[in-house]
Each structure stands twice: as structure tokens, then as C-alpha cells.
Structure 1
């Protein structure tokens, strides 16, 4: 029986490449994205990769927690089991922006929204796994569990992004401790050739630098993590190897409790 795989951020880049590869191996893929035109294109590509099998789809903006709750409700109503949740949606915000929910946009889109989604889907994920797309950029900073709103005057896009990538790793570590029935990992996909980034200089880097990884290769790593046996629960993967990240594991429990309070779950 085909597995059910939910991929957020699946309308472009790593998520779309992974969604196509999941479909090609016979999985039923649910494609989640924010932009309706890119989402439609991704659905077409995933359908083609799956020899015409119709994927699921849902449009959601993770800067709106109501969208995340609507996505979770749709998935709970539609699927008895979710075998893999790929928390891949995220991005880098060029200038400080506060969401309608009151949080800094990078922190909400990259950490609080996937935290909420995964928490709401926990029972459907029993016996399955969660794969969180993090980054080597996590070295840029540690999350402050007591401040998810930040301040406009001190905001810098790359450090803010790095803080959220640390949060992704800490979330996977703490999920492994609290939810032993769900395998949780995070990974660094490499510096991927996409339209990712904030500002012209960063976008130029992510499109043209010679050392970049293709979305297909990075998506392949996500698929490997969704398939592989004997993974380290809570592990942070660089390539096919669990690697020690530059995070303070003592922060994981506080971050979890603060995140649960922030999103009311």
C-alpha cells in the first residue's frame, strides 16, 4: 500500500524535487505550498512523476497560523495515517516583519508553524517519521524561548534565519525525547541552487555560486531520510551521516514549552 507523504514548501526547490521523487517511487504525496501558481505547477510535475496518480494539494501560508490549523484539519479529515511529514517550508525574510499572529515572520514561518503542524498531526504520525529541513546556517545563533517577536532595530536576515534553523534541530531532538513513537530527524540539504534568499546579493549567491547543490540532489537526501533504516532518532544529518550540530541541547525543552504556549497547542 502506498505511503502518505506530506511535503510542505513543495511548490519549488528542494520540496518540489523531493515530492517528485516520492511520487516516482510510488508514494502518495500531499503537496503543500503558498503561491497558487507555483503550487499548481508542482502538482502537475508530481502527477507526471507518479505516472498520472493524482497527488493531494493544499495552499497554506505559514505566516498565518490559521492556515496551518486549516491544513492540519484537512489532513486529519482526509488521511488515517501520515507516514512521513517533511517540514520543508521556510525562507529568509529580508526586512523585519511581524505576522498577524504577532511573531517575527522568519521565526513563525520556519519554526512555530511547523511546530504547530507537527503537534496537531502527532497521532496520525505514530509509527512514521518527521524530517525537518534545517541548515548549516544554524551556527549563526540560538533561539530565545522568551522572545519570538524580536525587534525591528536589531533584525538581520541571515542571523534570524540561522536562529530558526537551530530551532529546527532542537525541535527534532526534543520530539525524539517526548514522542518515542515518531522518528524525528533534521538535516542540512547543502547550499541549494534555488531562488531562496533575502536581498539581491543573497539571491544571486543561491542561483549562481559554483559550489551549489542541485535541488534534485538535496531533495534526494530528504527522500533518503524518509526511507532509510537505522537513523538516529533526533539526529542532525549532513549527507548520510548523523553529525553533532552547534546547538545547546539544554535549550530544547524550554524552546518546546515556549513554542507550545505561543501557538496554543
Structure 2
């Protein structure tokens, strides 16, 4: 099947591995990344995996909502059909930073930006699917819909990252309730050996620590969620491996999910 699959955060790690796997299956992959050098290298790898088929590409930094809007405009103009949106871009910010849009950088990059992108593509995704890369790190933090700008005095990098991953799960389940015509799933990719992290110690951990999941294995899970028959998946579900798992109670709180959705919509102007 020749699907059009948009993958954000596709210039390295899980996103790149999935992009290569999907291209090898014959899908039209659109590679989205922040760094121009890594993006160019990724495009060449995806092209090789697809036996010379040129993937789509777009450079966007999710710490700018204007760049997210430009990405959405490009996708809507270029691709009459979008079968899958994989919201995979994400990161962890070592020290408190506020974006030019006025929000804490982790919650914007990991939650508000994909929330906005999905809304802007919403009509194009009707009858299709959205795959959100979450994490079991969601156990570390709870998003506060009333404080999306964060607080530099109380900022903790991993707790904030956990809150953003909880937001991914909450967004997925609320999307299932509000947009029943779109199949929405989130997943935990495992602790992946990649260039993820901030600071030398964390980068060394994600590069060399024993027992980490390979990007290829994590990418295969994203690939499966993007391509498995819809009736084999549970919309709104949080996947760990090929099974739906119950997230921590705060990430399954329907009232919190609804509040976060409304606050996020106000924040990004949709």
C-alpha cells in the first residue's frame, strides 16, 4: 500500500529508523527535522531505503509555533492525502527556557507544537490515523493546564519532560473522544539508544548504557502502529510493545485531559 506518512523528529533515532522502514515498504515518507545537516543526511538514508524514491522533507523547529504553521501549510499544499501523522519530535531541556511564543520550551516542543500541527491537519486526517510518541517517563510529571509557561523557580528537567509525555497520552485519549473519525494512539518506545538528552552525562547514558532499546526496534513499533489494520488497534490506547497498557492515573484522568485540551487550544490559537 502506498501511504503518505509524515514523521516529525525524523532526522535521527526512532523517527529516522521508522522512516527508513516505511520507505523500504514502499510508503511515501515526509521527513521533518529541526537541524538542517541531520535532516539532509536523514533524507539520503530514507531515499536509499526506498530504492531511490525521494522522500518529502521540511525543516521546522517546534519551539516556534510559526514554523509549525508553515509546516502545516506545506503539507496541506503538497499532499492531498495524509494517511498517518507521527508526532515523534521531542526533547528534554536542561534549564528553564521560555520560547518566543511565551511557553516553557519542553511543553511547547513536546506537546503544544504537535497539538497545533494535528489540529491544523485535522480535516486531512479524517478517516486516517495519528501516532504520538509518549514515554513511561510520564510517571515523573503531571501537566498543569493553567501554567503552560512553567516556573523557572521550580523547574526540574525530568519532571517537566514527564509532564510533557503525560500530555501526549492525555492528548491521544482526548482526541479519540473528540475526533472519533481519527484513529489516535500513543506509545512508549522504550529507553532508546540515541542522541536524546541534554548535558554530557545524559547524552553518554543514552549512547552507551547497557540494556537500551535500539532505534530500529523502537522504530519498528512506530512502523507497526502506523500501518497495522485499524481494527487491530485500540483508538485512544497507550501502547507498550504491541499491547495496550494503562498509564499512571494522572495520564488517564479524563477531566485533566479535557482541561489540557482546552488550555492548549487557547494557547496555540485553534
TM above 0.5, yes or no, is: yes
Q: Find runs of 4+ consecutive structure 1 residues off by over 2 angstroms.
A: none
Within a 5 Å distance, the mapping from 1:49-198 to structure 2 comes to 49-198=49-198
The residue matched to 1:122 in structure 2 has which SS?
coil
Partner residue in 1 for 2:269: 264
TM-score (norm 1): 0.99
Q: Deviations for 1:118-171, whole angstroms, at most 9, x for unmatched residues?
A: 000011111110000000000011110111011111111100100000000000
TM-score (norm 2): 0.97
Q: Deviations for 1:80-110, whole angstroms, at most 9, x for unmatched residues?
A: 1100000000100011100010000000000
Partner residue in 1 for 2:222: 222
The residue matched to 1:125 in structure 2 has which SS?
coil
1:70 and 1:236 mapped to 2: Cα distance?
29
Q: Which runs of 5+ in 1 are unaligned?
A: none
Q: Deviations for 1:59-82, whole angstroms, at most 9, x for unmatched residues?
A: 000000000000000000111110
Q: Which runs of 5+ in 2 are unaligned?
A: none
The residue matched to 1:124 in structure 2 has which SS?
coil
2:39 and 2:135 mapped to 1: Cα distance?
24
Within a 5 Å distance, the mapping from 1:195-206 to structure 2 comes to 195-206=195-206
Partner residue in 2 for 1:239: 241
The residue matched to 1:115 in structure 2 has which SS?
helix
CA RMSD of aligned residues (A): 0.7
Aligned-residue offset at 1:250: 2.2
1:109 and 1:234 mapped to 2: Cα distance?
21
Aligned-residue offset at 1:203: 1.4
8 Å contact from structure 1 (residues 157, 198) kept in 2: no
